Chain A
Amino acid sequence: MLELINLRKAFNPGTINEKKALNGVSIKLDEGDFVTIIGGNGAGKSTTLNAIAGVWPVDEGAIIINGQNVTGLSEHQRAKYIGRVFQDPMTGTAATMEIQENLALAARRGQSRTLRWGITRREKEEYRELLKTLGLGLEDRMTSKVGLLSGGQRQALTLLMATLKKPQILLLDEHTAALDPKTAAKVLQLSDEIIAANHLTAMMVTHNMSNAIEYGNRLIMMNNGQIIYDVKGEEKKNLTVDDLMKKFEEASGTTLNNDRMLLSKKG
């Protein structure tokens, strides 16, 4: 479904600030895989997701989505294959536009935008039903501006938008990190439900190791722009947070340096 072949990316190359963010990332995802990604600060987790999304071109390597090489496609051209939810709840929605308008924009991801009316009556009914499934009461606020919603509501809406048109791959980039613990748990639960219900292939960066173990069928650990640990199935299910800490030290030769990750070790 998704294949990354030896991805490399350096930021500020040739300067004193040069940072080799990706040092040969390769992975192959099967259809329906739900991969959680953990790793220290600057390990390349978000960078990997951004490379897939096409925020900038990679220096080397190839990105294959569903058999098609998308390495040369720009961000908006790739968007038709990819659904994304960002860390900052502000990023994924248009604040000055209505809830239903945001959904209508997302429903047309990857299609050419014509001079037909931007949102049809039939769509509005569909969206009302969909919003009901969130259980946040948003179905009665369809014409409210998204800027009036809370962070959690915005992330839930972004999730709905990202999956409204079934993506080949769903990228979740620490999408619960900016939310309070209770809301974060809710949004995470919702993500899991949506992924399962639509049988989506997904990648989720998280700093919460228990979440990384609990959710998904596969877990990868990154360090220094490389994948240092890749585990799935039964073996993943039986992991503990301590196992992960140990694995990290074994594979990287250092202790884990993600502060937030360590803080949330027990959570």
Chain B
Amino acid sequence: MDILLQKLSTFGNALPGDITQGLIWGVLAIGVFITYKILDFADLTIDGTLGLGGVTAVVLITNGVPVPVAMIIAFLAGCAAGLCTALLNTMLGIPGILAGILTQLALYSVYLDINGKANAPISVDKFPLVISSRYVTAGNELWDILRTVGTALIFVVLIIGALYWFFGTEYGMSIRATGCNTSMSKAEGINTKRTTIITLVLSNGLVGLSGALLSQYQGFADVNMGRGAIVIGLAAVIIGMVLGEVILRKRFNFIGKLTFTALGAIVYFVVLRIVMLIGLSTDNTKLFSALIVAIFLAVPYIQKSSKTSFRKAGKRSAVGAAGAAAVGESDEMQPALSGSVSDSDKKEGE
């Protein structure tokens, strides 16, 4: 009982931090949403972009660049990474997934070129960072905790607002059309290469910004901070979509989708905390992310195939064929009993 209480208190103390972390990753998840869900493009660039955004911000801030400027440049660095993938895909004909992997790989080198080594620390004591995990842990003033969570929340809300506006504009609508039906989009005069480029640039910009927030929050950037980011982003998107459909049902509109994507990221980190309190070791968090995504992607497929599968059709046909054969035989052998046989056959059928 004591252990349970202790764990509950640990959970409670960690909750504001988990929510903040979820919101920061929510910015990344929203970036994943606009490529994966709107453009229908699985963009693996972001594993590299997160670290790029993180290290860009850290290096600039430690060199005296004002924090907001550093974050804008981190956003732009992310945009540039997205542009690389987009050009590889649209201009050089490299399939989307591969184009993303190529840029992602190259970005690890770019990271090391920027920083010279894998780790880039930054201290909230020396620089006016916008967000830090320092102020969100237990023992802080309530105001500091609220301020930290609130800062992350403001970023997410502003981004959702901006994207809601953007995808409602003429250009935003043409991006949605591109993701849905390329032939139709071209026939309606939409330059589908350009819409693809813009979307990837925008998405990676958000991931770069997320990296800038994350490195400030955790107090360092690391060359591996983005490893598996796409999986966490997808987990957030998928959890968000499932929750949104269950909770909002028919009212699950575009702004709801963006909101639930961020919410999905929070849920992911809270659930991760719970399974870690239960006993998952930190070494296994990536295994956990992969499992979550695999399960959530598999569920719709399993649901569908449980309704209609060859195995079940085979079973049904075997029962039917045996029944028909039985009826046929008894008809031949004992014509007088055929009535009762078909009665029993009916019962079996029911």
Residues of A within 8 A of B (CB): 53, 75-77, 79-80, 82, 84, 86, 90-97, 101, 104-106, 108-111, 113-119, 161
Contact = CB atoms under 8 A, between A and B. Distances in A.
A79 B183 contact: no
Interface residues of B, number: 22
Contacts of B191: 76
Contacts, number: 82
A79 B183 CA distance: 11
A98 B166 CA distance: 17
B190 A118 contact: no
Contacts of A106: 188
Given A76-B190, A110-B189, 13 more contacts: A75-B187, A76-B191, A80-B189, A91-B181, A91-B183, A92-B184, A96-B180, A101-B173, A101-B176, A108-B188, A113-B190, A114-B171, A117-B170
Contacts of B189: 76-77, 79-80, 108-111
Nearest to A115: B169
B215 interface: no
A135 B232 CA distance: 48
Contacts of B173: 97, 101, 104-105, 113, 118-119
Interface in B163-199: 166, 168-174, 176-177, 180-181, 183-192
Contacts of A116: 169-170
Interface in B119-133: none
A118 B184 contact: no
A155 B183 CA distance: 15
Contacts of A93: 181, 184
A115 B170 contact: yes
Nearest to B179: A96
Contacts of B169: 113-118
B187 A92 contact: yes
A117 B168 contact: yes
Contacts of A82: 187
What does DSSP make chain A's interface, helix, strand, loop or mixed?
loop
B225 to A, nearest CB: 33
Contacts of B170: 108, 113-118
A112 to B, nearest CB: 9
A116 to B, nearest CB: 6
Contacts of B166: 115
B176 A97 contact: yes
Given A115-B170, A117-B168, A118-B173, A95 B180 contact: yes
6 contacts: A91-B181, A91-B183, A94-B180, A96-B180, A105-B190, A118-B168
A95 B40 CA distance: 14
B184 A75 contact: no
A76 B183 CA distance: 10
A231 B174 CA distance: 41
Contacts of B174: 105, 113
Given A113-B170, A118-B170, A79 B181 contact: no
Contacts of A80: 189
Contacts of A108: 170, 188-189
B250 to A, nearest CB: 11
Contacts of A79: 186-190
Contact of B192 (A76, A101, A110, A111): A76
Nearest to B192: A76
A84 B170 CA distance: 21
Contacts of B181: 90-91, 93-95
A77 B188 CA distance: 9
Nearest to A162: B187
A192 B52 CA distance: 58
A82 B181 CA distance: 18
Nearest to A80: B189
A197 B183 CA distance: 27
Contacts of A113: 169-171, 173-174, 190
